[in-house]
Structure formats: structure tokens, C-alpha cells
A and B are shown apart, each in its own frame.
Chain A
Amino acid sequence: MLESGLCSYVLISYGHSALSSDSMQRMLLDLSGDDAVFGHFGATGGYALAARRAMHEFGTGPETWKKIAVGQRRWANLNPAAMMHSKPMTEADYDNAKLIVEPLRLPDNCLITDGGRAIIVTSLERARDLKQPPAVIMGMGQHNPSTVIAQSDWMAGPTGARQAGEAAFAMADITLDDVDACQIYDCFTYTVEITLQDYGFFKPGGGRDWLQGGTIEPGGRMPVNTSGGQLSEAYFMGMTPIAEGAMQIMGRCGERQLGPATRTKSPEIILCSDNGGILQSHSCTLLRRL
């Protein structure tokens, strides 16, 4: 709509009393449809099916997902606004956590959060005159495979991330090597793994090795979800990753700021992803500093 000249300043807004109201309980039955006949409910069930198929197809599992959960928690521990700010998590904590829908444990699941988040998008020309340093959109891509999880045959990849990522990187005319950090839609740890895999950061099953040694953590070579993400900061759908990507580019992240504060590279380019449904929709946005 900006490109067409229809608008000058677009506001995108999210708000939900998810934790303190009964909205989520109402959703569970409303949105499960006839899956509920067989006792299948909600996102955890859907992603559990996907994660299990991935275990079968390329040998992933809790040993990989643990590193995502623990790694992102370390970012949350630097973020006073994060729900999990004062709750460190060790690998043993992950192993001992209860199974919700196997193979997914509690720390594999995103948070449920009361709160809101909003961003403003405008043209680069107008952005130059405004208060904050702009987070420039270098590239965007989308792909919506659509099929519900029960009938999908790509739940272990390639998901919509593959095409969406290719389109975004082509538009931006950059490669993965140019990316300094990632804000990945992390409704579940498995979502982070399959997204990074489909973007090409590692081959199928290569996630566990890739994550070794704190890759995604403060001090790591590829920080992921630097606010703590939906897993450890707050769940605001796609607003969680895109807002953090923008704030990091703007240099406003305090103790968790990418750069010398966290022994990481100062971010020039940040990759942000967004998902919908159970791997049914995907978008990829590349942000850069002006």
C-alpha cells in the first residue's frame, strides 16, 4: 500500500490479553475443528506432528531444540522486559521439563503473554526526517504453502521459508554471509530449526552441530532472537521478531544490544521471519542500518 502511493505512514498493531483472559481457552476448541474429535488441539499438537516427522526424516530431536531454548533464554536474561528475564535455564532444566505433546516439552513452547506491540512503516525519504534511525527494509519475500498439517508433506521441510527466503535475499541482493543476526518466529524451538535450515544456514539435520558452542547466544557468531523471542521474552506473533530486529538496528537495546555490549558484531543486516498457522504461511524480511 505504501508502494502504490495509497498511504504515507502505516501502523501495524498487536494487542492481546492472552494470559489473563479466557480467550486462549475459547480459541482451543473454536479453531481445532474436527481434529478435536481425535483429541488433537492447538499449535503444540500441530508442531509436535511436524517435529516428529522431522526426527524421522533427518534425525533431529530434543538435543537440537534444547540448544535453541537455552540459547534464547540467555538473551532473555539480558532483557528486563522479558517474561523469563530472571529465570535462567540450563540444559538439565530442559531435559527435566515436562512433556506437553511429545516430542515437545514445556520449554519448546512459546509463552502466552498479556500485552501489545506496534510498529510504524514509511518511505525511506520520510524516514530520514524522523526521530529514530530507520531500520531499512532491504528485501521481503512470502510463501504460503497453506495445507493444514494433517495433509502436508513438507512439515520436515522445505517449508514456506525456502521460497520466501530466496525472494527476500534476491531482492536485497545479498547472501547468508551478509546476515549479522536473525529474529526468527519461534512459536516452537522446532520452528527456529526448520526456518534456519530452509534458509540455508545448515543442511537437514545439521542444526545440532551448527548450534554447538553457543552459536545463537550472547557472544555467538549468529545471534538469534536477541530479546529472548516468543520462547523467552513475549509472544506477540510476528511483532516479536520484527520489533526486535528494528530495535537492534536502531541501537536501542541496552544490555542486550548487538555489538561490543554482547561481544557480537554490530548489526548492519538482520534477518526477520514471520509464520502463520502450523507452517502454513511464511514471510522473510531483511532489515539494514542506513
Chain B
Amino acid sequence: MSYDKPLPKLNSDNRPFWEGCRQHELRFQRCSDCGHVRWPPSDLCPQCHSTEINWLISKGIGKVYTFAVYHTAFHPGFAADLPYTVAVVALDEGPHFMSNIVGCRPDEVKCDMPVKVVWEDVDERITLPKFRALS
């Protein structure tokens, strides 16, 4: 069955991140000068403008910072999933990452709920990080 949802656009800024996802690793850039862990990826630290980084592999654990439950399909690829949850996950290492909460009903999702990354292998190029409740 073909995948009918949009896929991420790969470019020089985000390719290392998506390649990490293929390995089931959530990789972020940590600024070598000030320690800020950034997302989305780029060449420049937004806090101090340093270009020096080392890569951090996140434990994939965090909390739901906020979420929204879609009752309307803005794209036909998501119609079968309604209602579904989009969440901003505050990972323990700092970044806020947008993804879906899976494995529970939307009405079970709460702000501050602890979650852990799970991996959805879409095709040979793309694996998507999603999150489920940490029980």
C-alpha cells in the first residue's frame, strides 16, 4: 500500500537528522560553545551564533508540552486517522519536537504526560519518530 501522507523534504540542514531516524536515533545539534541543543537543525546556534557542534543522541524521553486533536482532515492522507493527536514534546535534553502521540486515545493525552519515542518505518529513506505514553 502506498504511503499517502506528506514526507519530509531532505536538505543539507536536516539530512543528518533524518539519517539518524533511519538508525532509530533522535539526533540533535548541541552547540560546543554554549551547550544549547537546537531544533530545528541549522548551521548556526540561535543562542550564541557559534557554528561548532557536537551531535547528541537523545534518550527520546520527554513530556507533552502541548497537543491538539484533529477532528478535520486538512489532507486526504489523514482522513482515516481522525481523530488524531499532534503534540509538541519537550524532550529531556531541551528541544521541543512536533510529532504525533500514538498508542492511546486522543482523550487520554494530557499536558506534562511523560512520553517516549517510537519509530515508524515508512520506506527505505524515511523513518518517522512518534511518541507513546511512558507508563
Contact = CB atoms under 8 A, between A and B. Distances in A.
**Do chains A and B directly touch (beta carbons under 8 Å) in the complex?**
yes
Interface of A: 28-29, 33-42, 44-45, 48-50, 52-53, 55-56, 98-103, 149-151, 153, 155
A49 B75 contact: no
Interface string B47-68: 0000000000000000001111
A150 B78 contact: no
- Which secondary structure dominates chain B's binding surface? mixed
B81 to A, nearest CB: 7
A39 B7 contact: no
B43 interface: no
Among B6, B71, B81, B83, the most chain A Cβ lie within 10 Å of the Cβ of: B6
B98 A35 contact: yes
The number of chain B residues touching the other chain, given as a range, is: 20 to 34
A13 to B, nearest CB: 29
Given A28-B74, A38-B100, A101-B71, 13 more contacts: A28-B75, A34-B6, A37-B128, A39-B75, A41-B75, A42-B74, A44-B72, A45-B68, A49-B68, A49-B88, A102-B68, A102-B70, A102-B106
Interface of B: 5-9, 39-40, 65-72, 74-75, 78, 81, 83-84, 86, 88, 95-100, 106, 111-112, 128
A237 to B, nearest CB: 21
A77 B24 CA distance: 56
Given A37-B128, A39-B81, A42-B74, A53 B6 contact: no
A216 B27 CA distance: 49
Given A39-B5, A45-B86, A101 B70 contact: yes
Contact of A100 (B67, B72, B81, B86): B72
B78 A39 contact: yes
B2 to A, nearest CB: 16
A102 B86 CA distance: 10
Given A28-B74, A45-B86, A151-B96, A37 B6 contact: yes
A151 B39 CA distance: 8
Given A49-B66, A49-B68, A52-B68, A39 B8 contact: no
A38 B75 contact: no
Nearest to A48: B68
B73 to A, nearest CB: 9
Contact of B86 (A34, A38, A53): A38
User: Closest 7 CB pairs between A and B?
Assistant: A48-B68, A56-B111, A41-B74, A53-B66, A102-B69, A36-B6, A150-B98
Contacts of A34: 6, 8-9
Contacts of A36: 5-6, 75
A44 B72 CA distance: 10
Contact of B70 (A45, A52, A98): A45
Contact of A101 (B6, B69, B75, B100): B69
Among A42, A52, A98, A99, the most chain B Cβ lie within 10 Å of the Cβ of: A52
B70 A39 contact: yes
A50 B66 contact: yes
Nearest to B74: A41
A155 B108 CA distance: 22
Contacts of A29: 6, 75
B94 to A, nearest CB: 10
A3 to B, nearest CB: 32
Contacts of A56: 66, 111-112
A41 B6 CA distance: 11
A48 B74 CA distance: 14
Contacts of B71: 98-102
B48 to A, nearest CB: 17
14 contacts: A37-B5, A37-B6, A37-B8, A38-B98, A39-B70, A41-B74, A41-B75, A45-B70, A52-B66, A53-B65, A98-B71, A101-B71, A102-B71, A151-B39
